Structure 1
Amino acid sequence: MLEIENASVSIEGTPILRNVELTMPTGAMIGLVGRNGAGKTTTLKTLIGLLVPQSGKVRFDGADITSTSPHRRAALGIGFMPEDRRLVPDLTVRENILVPAWAMRLQDAEKRVDWIVDLIPELGPLMDRYAPQLSGGQQKLAALGRALMVGRRALLLDEPSEGVAPALAERIGEILSNLKTEGLCVLISESNDHHVADLLDDVFSIERGQVRRLEH
């Protein structure tokens, strides 16, 4: 279980999140819906440790990880897919997926790559291509694969359907549906939940840095 307890976050003195409460149970897929600038990305960055709340806590399986570094959170099994993909242009798709494995010296990295390609077979023919040779949608799939390399217990996805064709957005939804049997807790932030609504166990809205649960 990954959760934020009463967290407030400011960036350069500007309040962004206000007393946010959000719980992602193990095995559940949670939606966080809001407009651009509402605080979705700030929430995810707080969960992965790139931002530290001025008040409140972040917990993972009951342990307080508020002060835990992003690197250590990744080692705990928390994966993150940023909205802008952030692939390394000089690396191939395979190498981009393996970057976090190299950083953490994971022993089963190649086996994990095989599992990722089984889950996302579209990546198979792309593994030796460099990031700039990919379409925007293909880069999204590669970024999802990289997040899955470490996201073995929790997966945070920042607008996975943003900027891709409707058919690919639906395909991403299918991939996420197949993940539901893996026992991860998954948080998906989107401007709307059109492509993933049927997958979600719970939905929260965020507006002006405040989160509330929606009827689902």
Structure 2
Amino acid sequence: MLAVDGVHVVIQSVTALRGFGMTAAPGEMIGLVGRNGAGKTTMMRTIMGHLAPVQGHIRVDGTDLRTVARHHRADLGIGYMPEDRGLIPALTVEENILLPTWVTKRLDGRQRLDFVYGIMPELKAMRERKALLLSGGQQKMVALGRALAVGTRLLLLDEPFEGVAPALSQRLSEVISALKGKDLAVVISQSDLNHSQSLFDREYIIERGANGTMREKAH
């Protein structure tokens, strides 16, 4: 589903990714693990098209992302939950969840919304609240719901547990765990493995933008 091969990314003359590579197959849950500043967010932003690789290839379901404009990548079934949540404060919870479906012709927004509410009923209960009135943890839940609304093939979750109260962190973990084994490929970036290590089929260690040791779960 996802194939990253030898990707180099330069940000303001600083090399942020140095030949990094990873793969994620349908049904797999992959950990992207590294310290702060190691390149985890850079990798996810590059997949989403916010940054452009100067070398290497990224393919999603066989499609070379160099041929896909940033605003068309949701059409490939990629859902993205950024570390900073990226919600629109003046929109309601429901509007934030639906937002990517409005520009993705292949999706039925109402059907995807029902899917999200089925997995995360707490979002339905707060659907009419403005995003700016939510706590940080609640905003993380909404950002996950928005990613699920459009992420039918690949889900990218950047530090989903960072800065979240323990109860909400546990709830996020439950929701993500429920996705395991489906056709969806899930990539989760983490610096702290306390919440998610048991979820992963495989972990890619990233160190200063390059591949460290890969860890695969024993079966």
What TM-score results when the alignment is normalised by the length of structure 1? 0.96
- Asked if 2 retains the 8 angstrom alpha-carbon contact of 1:140 and 1:160, the reply is yes
Residue in structure 2 matched with residue 81 of structure 1 by the alignment: 81
Distance 1:6 1:201 in 2: 22
SS across alignment from 1:110: helix
Q: How does 1:63-82 map to 2 (within 5 A)?
A: 63-82=63-82
SS of the residue corresponding to residue 182 of structure 1 reads coil
CA distance in 2, matches of 1:106, 1:66: 21
CA RMSD of aligned residues (A): 1.2
SS in 2 for 1:179: coil
Contact 1:7 1:18 in 2 (8 A): yes
Determine if contact 1:31/1:193 at 8 Å carries over to the other structure.
no
Label 1:97 to 1:106 Cα distance change in 2 as closer, same or farther (>3 A). Answer: farther
Matched to 1:87, the amino acid is L
CA–CA separation in structure 2 for the residues paired with 1:12 and 1:107: 37
Q: In 1, are the aligned partners of 2:2 and 2:24 still within 8 Å (CA)?
A: yes
1:87-138 residue CA offsets vs partner (Å, 9 max, x unmatched): 1111000000111111224551111101101101111211000011111111
In structure 2, the residue matched to 1:155 is 155
Q: What residue identity is the alignment partner of 1:214?
A: R
Instruction: Give 1:130's aligned residue.
Output: 130
Which AA in structure 2 matches 1:189?
S
SS at match of 1:5: strand
Residues 7 and 20 in structure 1, CA contact (< 8 A), matched pair in contact too = yes
Aligned match of 2:96: 96
Q: How does 1:176-191 map to 2 (within 5 A)?
A: 176-191=176-191
Cα distance in 2 between the residues matched to 1:85 and 1:39: 18
| SS of equivalent to 1:85 | coil
Identify unmatched segments of 5+ residues in structure 2. Answer: none
The number of equivalent residue pairs is: 216
Structure 1 residue aligned with 2:4? 4
1:135–1:89 Cα change, 3 Å: same
Question: Deviation of residue 34 (structure 1)?
Answer: 1.0
User: What secondary structure does 1:71 align onto?
Assistant: helix
Q: Is the 8 A contact 2:153 2:183 kept in 1?
A: yes
Segments of 5+ residues of structure 1 without an aligned counterpart are none
| 8 Å contact kept, 1:52–1:67 | no
What is the deviation of 1:173? 1.1
Given that 1:47 and 1:58 are in contact with CA atoms closer than 8 Å, whether structure 2 keeps it comes out as yes
Matches within 5 A, 1:22-37: 22-37=22-37
SS of the aligned residue for 2:103 comes to helix
1:209 matched to 2:206? The reply is no
Deviation at 1:189, TM superposition (A): 0.3
